[in-house]
Amino acid sequence: MRRYKIAAIPGDGIGKEVVPAGVSVLNVLTQRCGDFALDFESFDWGSDYWRRHGKMMPDDGLAVLKPFDAIYFGAVGDQNIPDHITLWGLRLKICQGFDQYANVRPTRLMNGVPGPLAKARPGDLDWVIVRENSEGEYAGHGGRAHQGHPEEVGTETAIYTRAGVTRIMRFAFRLAQSRPRKLLTVVTKSNAQRHGMVLWDEIAAEVAKEFPDVTHDKWLVDAVTTRMVLNPKSLDTIVATNLHADILSDLAAALSGSMGIAPTANLNPDRNYPSMFEPIHGSAFDIAGKGIANPIGTFWSGAMMLEHLGERAAAAKLMSAIELVLAKGEVMGRDLGGTASTAEVAQAVCDAIHAANI
């Protein structure tokens, strides 16, 4: 039997609720499939760990994670600890330490989910956003001087390297090529940002020559937001910088009906390190501890993890189960206008996995 070692890191807030739900659904799925197993090990790293130890994860945390086949992550963030400590101390430490340079965010308007776009129907919105996840605006390059004085200054310098832009561009073209429409939109802001963004555009044009069967277009980030809202059908795969794609993918998640549905994968495409799969939402303090977080984004992240592990049939089965539950509309989370708890949504997906027609 094929076995995979999975590190589960629920983290903070609703991460502690949706990851256990995801683990239980994946366990039901592996039992149903019968030909592979996921061996989960859970780590209590996050803000509570920080309160006990003064750090978000142990110093040898990356060495502990390295032998795993994948990481199943929840959320990070705490009302009483600054975001730059929680984010850089755990999630970004893993993303950067394991060179997870491609952040992949699928968005789909699913049957049964009421999206905010009055005219969009399921099928009109089926995108994958590829976010450069290792440099750009979030390279951590900058500093503060003259703190507390009137002349205080803070800098945050975006870094774009030829190596970094080329590898994400190749990844995005390859992903676009693997999808039926073979359509890639390269997002940029090279009208106002005359250096790094122009390098981004030039490399996009160079890499495009390697993929003659992929149609690509180039859009400014501000203009692409209106295209996402007014003409969602015209988009398929989108590649953008770390900051731009961060913003665009929150918009995408909202347009697909809820933050609670959307998944993401932080990939090390070279497979030198484990990749990490997580819902796109944060720790959502307002609903944490109430058992009402929608776990669908975590389940979809689980399907992406299975696909990455090469378990395509199981991934498809899980997606069909999710789609069936949403289309039926009987067991919907509160964010989708229903009343179901995290556990009830998990149970409905488990029941759908057992349904004969999946």
Instruction: Give the residues lining the site for ligand ATP (CB under 6 A).
Output: 14, 77, 259-260, 281-287, 293-294, 297, 333, 335
For the bound state, the minimum distance from the C-beta of residue 237 to ligand ATP, rounded and expressed in Å, comes to 24
Please state, as a whole number, how many other Cβ atoms lie within 10 Å of the Cβ of residue 93: 17
For the bound state, the minimum distance from the C-beta of residue 62 to ligand ATP, rounded and expressed in Å, comes to 22
Rank residues 140 and 310 by Cβ distance to ligand ATP and give the closer one: 140
Asked whether the CA dihedral 121, 185, 220, 171 is positive or negative, the reply is positive
Burial track 43-58 (b if 16+ CB lie within 10 A, e otherwise): bebbbebbeeeeebbe
- Are 262 and 85 spatial neighbours (Cβ–Cβ below 8 Å)? no
Long-range Cβ pairs for the range 214-217 (8 Å, 24+): 214/173, 214/176, 214/177, 214/182, 214/183, 214/184, 215/182, 215/183, 215/184, 216/173, 216/176, 216/183, 216/184, 216/185, 216/186, 217/184, 217/185, 217/186
Q: Is 256 helix (H, G, I), strand (E, B) or coil?
A: coil
For the bound state, the minimum distance from the C-beta of residue 146 to ligand ATP, rounded and expressed in Å, comes to 29
Q: Look up residue 57 and give its DSSP letter.
A: S
For the bound state, the minimum distance from the C-beta of residue 207 to ligand ATP, rounded and expressed in Å, comes to 31
For the bound state, the minimum distance from the C-beta of residue 115 to ligand ATP, rounded and expressed in Å, comes to 15
For the bound state, the minimum distance from the C-beta of residue 298 to ligand ATP, rounded and expressed in Å, comes to 8
Give one word for 214, left, alpha or beta, with left for phi > 0 and alpha for psi -120 to 50. beta
The closest residue (CB) to ligand ATP is: 282
Rank residues 204 and 348 by Cβ distance to ligand ATP and give the closer one: 348
Rank residues 77 and 302 by Cβ distance to ligand ATP and give the closer one: 77
Rank residues 18 and 176 by Cβ distance to ligand ATP and give the closer one: 18
Active site residues: 138, 189, 222, 246, 250
DSSP string, 138-178: EEEEEEEESTTSTT-EEEEEEE--HHHHHHHHHHHHHHHHH
Rank residues 260 and 274 by Cβ distance to ligand ATP and give the closer one: 260
Rank residues 9 and 14 by Cβ distance to ligand ATP and give the closer one: 14
Rank residues 137 and 335 by Cβ distance to ligand ATP and give the closer one: 335
Element (H, E) at 2: strand 2-11
For the bound state, the minimum distance from the C-beta of residue 296 to ligand ATP, rounded and expressed in Å, comes to 8
Q: Give the count of alpha carbons within 13 A of 341, CB side only.
A: 9
DSSP string, 178-239: HSTT-EEEEEE-TTT--SHHHHHHHHHHHHHTT-TTSEEEEEEHHHHHHHHHH-GGG--EEE
